[in-house]
Amino acid sequence: MARVRFPRAAEVDIMLLLEGTFPFVSGGVSSWVNQMIRGFPQWRFGAVFLGSRREDYEDFKYELPDNLIHLEEHYLHGDKLKPVVTPCRGDAQGFEVIRELHEWFLNPQQGSLPEGMKNLAFYRDSRHGVDFFQFLHAERSWDFIAEKYRTRCTDPSFVDYFWTVRNMHMPVWQLAEIAANLIPARLYHTVSTGYAGFLGALLHHATGRKLLLSEHGIYTKERRIDILHNEWILDRRNPLQKDLTEVSYYRELWIRFFETLGRFCYDAAGTTISLFEGARQREIADGATAERTRVIPNGIELSHFSPLRRLRPMAPPPIIALLGRVVPIKDVKTFIRSLRILSARLPEVQGWIVGPTDEAPHYVEECRRLAESLAVDDRVHFKGFMDPRELFPQIGLLALTSISEGLPLVALEGYAAGIPLVATDVGSCRQLVEGLGVEDEALGHAGAVVPINNPQAVAEACLGLLCDPGAWQRAQAAAVARVERFYTQERMFTEYRQLYEEGLAPWQA
């Protein structure tokens, strides 16, 4: 798709704060953002896209809706212009606030978030806090970092500590700058905590306008997992200093940093929305106030998919599709392994992996190699991006072997097109397949739920549905009934409309 110009406006009704999603990255969250903007044509939307580096993204993956009248992009890890170095002592009061903040995050039960941190001037005005220059070059900044290193850091290298702290915190000042220069909006809506959530919190505190937080995945949890597995995070402890049961100090530091951003956002959000009850509980555990949380499941436009049911062959074709980005979290490998097992019992079976392959090329390569080592490379097809409406009539089953999910839109779209689902027991997948509550459960199973990392269970569940027309028909009927009753776009829009109207209401002092 060709890169289009960024729309600009002087003000908007709702400003969406997006980190690594719409419009540069395709996927469930991005599709949901697109759906939301188009679903409320009566309001003027703006969006701030936060990314890592410009070169990490290609063109827009979505046609911009007409009512998205403002879009800006910012990159947090590109080359930044640094201020000229001159001697500076630093604002004593400002650093005292930072000290308080540190204490608060070490003991979040005691007291509340320091007020100073909520003020944009704190990050931008050297007379009222710690501006970017002071953070980089003030003596007090150095003293503070050195003191924290001496008292807390268990890694032997001060140089590594110094640069880790510096690089980690730099985006905070950049976000303050973005917040200060952003056009006015009547309501802020962030789709994650993290950097976008922090920006939302700053905007809320600076303007007094409401902040909504809709979490599809739990950002803090996902970052924690990423950090635990990243190879680039240093660990310079020697064998005598290392306790194998301890995470390296820098990993801990990164984890705490993202937890901090999360708490800052939860503290500011008027309403925190999750997709299912499990996610809501997790948010509460991570610092969200229970009374300000609620669940709004995803919903889809049924009319886009229900006509596809008529295009399906009578018997389900032995084609199983995994629809999603080819990235580790989708655990495509388990899907490929299950095809090895399936092929022995259902020789004509095929596995289609439908989704973009540009996000984690190394993982795509690993998947191809795995298919080869399992001698199923002739029946595993990487289809790249496909329009689901073109795909659904051709397949017999949808498979989701992810190790982490929220409430996957593809499952709902598949249901509406009359395709049962075999999914791992993550996120709200069990609720999607088996139902939640008496009325929902009475509809029956819309497929099967399997444990993660268990190709045998995936294969058996797929066989059970593909080789038993009766079971497949029952699952299809349950899928259609469930999506039509509980996961419609109208239902989701009604709940969000109410939240938007409350948020957009003139501010009451």
Residues that bind other proteins in the complex, under the rule CB under 8 A: 150-152, 154, 221, 224-225, 228-229, 241-247, 282, 328, 331, 333, 337, 340-341, 344, 366, 369-370, 372-375, 403-404, 426, 451-456, 459
Nearest Cα to 337, choosing from 276, 401, 241? 401
> Nearest approach, Cβ of 243 to other proteins (angstroms)?
3
> Nearest approach, Cβ of 200 to other proteins (angstroms)?
24
Nearest Cα to 447, choosing from 405, 400, 394? 400
Amino acid at 482: R
> Nearest approach, Cβ of 245 to other proteins (angstroms)?
4
- The CB-based long-range contact list for 248-252 (8 Å cut-off, 24+ gap) reads 248/155, 249/153, 249/154, 249/155, 249/161, 250/155, 250/160, 250/161, 250/164, 251/227
With respect to other proteins, which residue has the nearer C-beta, 224 or 263?
224
With respect to other proteins, which residue has the nearer C-beta, 240 or 314?
240
* E strands in 282-428: 293-295, 319-323, 350-354, 380-384, 397-400, 421-424
CB atoms within 10 A of CB 403: 14
- 336, 401 Cβ separation under 8 angstroms: no
With respect to other proteins, which residue has the nearer C-beta, 224 or 445?
224
Given CA atoms 451, 455, 459, 462 in this order, what sign does their dihedral have?
positive
With respect to other proteins, which residue has the nearer C-beta, 59 or 277?
277
Contacts of residue 149, Cβ cutoff 8 Å, sequence gap at least 6: 158, 161, 162
* Strand-strand pairing, 271-274 and 380-384: unpaired
> Nearest approach, Cβ of 248 to other proteins (angstroms)?
10
With respect to other proteins, which residue has the nearer C-beta, 76 or 452?
452
- 411, 475 Cβ separation under 8 angstroms: no
> Nearest approach, Cβ of 434 to other proteins (angstroms)?
17
Q: How far is 403 from 450, CA to CA, in rounded Å?
A: 11
- Mapped onto helix, strand or coil, the DSSP state of residue 115 is helix
With respect to other proteins, which residue has the nearer C-beta, 159 or 344?
344
* Strand-strand pairing, 447-450 and 421-424: parallel
With respect to other proteins, which residue has the nearer C-beta, 9 or 463?
463
> Nearest approach, Cβ of 151 to other proteins (angstroms)?
7
> Nearest approach, Cβ of 475 to other proteins (angstroms)?
23
With respect to other proteins, which residue has the nearer C-beta, 93 or 154?
154
> Nearest approach, Cβ of 96 to other proteins (angstroms)?
23
